[in-house]
Amino acid sequence: MPEPDDPALLEAPATEDDLYHSRGEEVLPTRPLLTGDVLADVEIPGLDDGRDLAIVLTHPCSMRRDGVHLQDRIFVARVVEHAVVPASQWNGHYAKMPLSGLINGASYAALFDSAGLVRSEFLIETERVACLSEFGVNLLQQRLIFHLTRFVAPTFKLHESCVGVFREIELHDEWAEFFSGRSQTPTEVGAAFHEWLREAPAGGTSRQVRLGDDQQVAAVRREMRAHLAKLA
Amino acid sequence: MSTNVESTASGSEARDTTVGRTAPIDPTRTMTISDIVNVLESARDLSLIRLEDSHRRLDTITELHAGGLEWLIDQRVRQYVGRDVGELLSKLYGLGFAWSDIARMAGVSVPALRKWRRGESPTAENRRRLATIVAICDLVPERSPMVQDVAAWLEMPLSQNAPLTGIDLIAGGQFSLVLRWAQGEDGEHLLDLFKPGWRDAYRNDVEVFIASDGAPALRARSRDG
């Protein structure tokens, strides 16, 4: 886990690679939509600037109304080309999220003042050009919170509050990778994953809840891998 | 401490040769408070010298111990470094690590790790790093039978005051610290060695709680603790 230099300041990534989970062809098409995903050709109502890049801002825990299906509308911000923001200047540019090297080495920034709600059905049909890493999502949240409230939330605490969702997304990636090339649709794959994840022994705790427990998460991963091995 | 103290076996005389003071005590007379203070001063100085000596010995032993652990790790790495990368990744996968954590410990991106899984060869340096992770996962339960689930254990923070875990130690290349933690050394002491500024870096007044919708949220920490 990257260490904040000064907990009183907005943090910066050590390298641009630390910002991203995947970019361009690295992006898994089966990955569920998540905070920090950058999408192409998104029209944001009220901006009147046509279709262009946008980044998902909605909190990871608030994106899905039942844990599976996306909310009807998702909060996104416009992403535009922008000069590289050096690490020393991340404690500035408060209305932006710098996105160095986002596409083919070119640098961009998300503009928190150019944001709005977009119907989720449009977003899932749109090409994804990048997904932020967990640390990248934490940085995005830290900057957005500061923009809205002037409060510096430590990224490691933001991570602690989202760790269950991050682990769930990673397990979903693994599950979806296993089923890629088979006949199920992504929605069916996602539904089967969540059904398995929410299973709980009588009177016991569901795997989804256990994902939030550091001591049990490795066991949940082993259970899923054993389950998939039986299906292979 | 540079004071040079000599003391008789009976403790009836203490002499501080640094300042040239001697404090002979006549056993036939009743000791005064001043005599007692002198004796206690000498005893204290002698204890400090012994304590310093013990610290020096402890430092030497700790250094030798760390060197021994590095040797053990190196020997185990040699067993694995020639193995197939797929086999090494399968071993870590079977233990229950997340791919993102394996990537972080190996010092590469998740997409780079995905390429290894699909048959692309890592560099010799990355192959050795992967072999080292497997070696550590072997050695931890051997050194500490209490650790039965090494993946879960490595995901646990070393201290409740910081989120740094055994995975962070491995990602930072501090392999012998992982084994020292497995053998019961104090987690916060090991963090002092790993990241000397960790206490300030992670000091905060924010806590995670479960909100009424069942999801985690952040709030200012209660003053009542």
In this complex, do A214 and B111 lie within 8 Å of one another by their Cβ atoms?
no
Q: How far is the alpha carbon of B82 from chain A, nearest alpha carbon, in Å? A: 26
How many CB pairs below 8 Å do chains A and B form together? 89
Residue A95 confidence (pLDDT): 96
In this complex, do A160 and B157 lie within 8 Å of one another by their Cβ atoms?
no
Nearest CA in chain B to A1: B168
Residue A183 confidence (pLDDT): 81
- Smallest Cβ–Cβ distance between A154 and the set B95, B96, B204 belongs to B204
Q: How far is the alpha carbon of B216 from chain A, nearest alpha carbon, in Å? A: 5
Say whether residue B215 is in contact with chain A using an 8 A CB cutoff: yes
SS in 3 state form for chain A? Answer: CCCCCCCCCCCCCCCHHHHEEEEHHHCCCCCCCCCCEEEEEEECCCCCCCEEEEEECCCHHHCECCCCCECCEEEEEEEEECCCCCHHHCCCCCCEEEEEEEECCEEEEEEEEEEEEEEHHHHCCCCEEEEECHHHHHHHHHHHHHHHHCCCCCHHHHHHHHHHHHHHHHHHHHHHHHHCCCCCCHHHHHHHHHHHHHCCCCCCCCHHHHCCCCCCHHHHHHHHHHHHHHHC
**How many C-beta atoms surround the C-beta of residue A180 within 10 A?**
13
Euclidean distance between CA atoms A46 and A166, whole angstroms: 31
Residue B22 confidence (pLDDT): 53
In this complex, do B111 and A174 lie within 8 Å of one another by their Cβ atoms?
no
Residue A4 confidence (pLDDT): 57
Whole-model pTM: value is: 0.83
In this complex, do A4 and B201 lie within 8 Å of one another by their Cβ atoms?
yes
Say whether residue B164 is in contact with chain A using an 8 A CB cutoff: yes
Give B-chain residues touching A206 at CB under 8 angstroms: none
In this complex, do B204 and A157 lie within 8 Å of one another by their Cβ atoms?
yes
Say whether residue B91 is in contact with chain A using an 8 A CB cutoff: no
Residue B223 confidence (pLDDT): 65
Residue B86 confidence (pLDDT): 94
Residue B5 confidence (pLDDT): 41
In this complex, do A219 and B100 lie within 8 Å of one another by their Cβ atoms?
no
Residue B42 confidence (pLDDT): 93
Q: Which residues of chain B fall below pLDDT 70? A: 1-25, 223-225
Nearest CA in chain A to B210: A161
Say whether residue A12 is in contact with chain B using an 8 A CB cutoff: no
Q: What is the pLDDT along chain A (232 residues), one digit of tens a residue?
A: 555 556 568 999 999 999 999 999 999 888 889 999 999 999 999 999 999 999 999 998 888 887 778 899 999 999 999 999 999 899 999 999 999 999 999 999 999 999 999 999 999 889 999 999 999 999 999 999 999 999 999 999 999 999 999 999 999 999 998 988 888 888 888 889 999 999 988 888 999 989 988 999 999 999 999 999 998 8
Say whether residue A21 is in contact with chain B using an 8 A CB cutoff: yes
Q: How far is the alpha carbon of B95 from chain A, nearest alpha carbon, in Å? A: 7
Give B-chain residues touching A22 at CB under 8 angstroms: 110-111
Give B-chain residues touching A158 at CB under 8 angstroms: 218
Tokens representing B222? 């209660």
Give B-chain residues touching A154 at CB under 8 angstroms: 202, 204, 206
Say whether residue B155 is in contact with chain A using an 8 A CB cutoff: yes
B214 exposure class (CB count in 10 Å sphere: 0-12, 13-18, 19+)? exposed
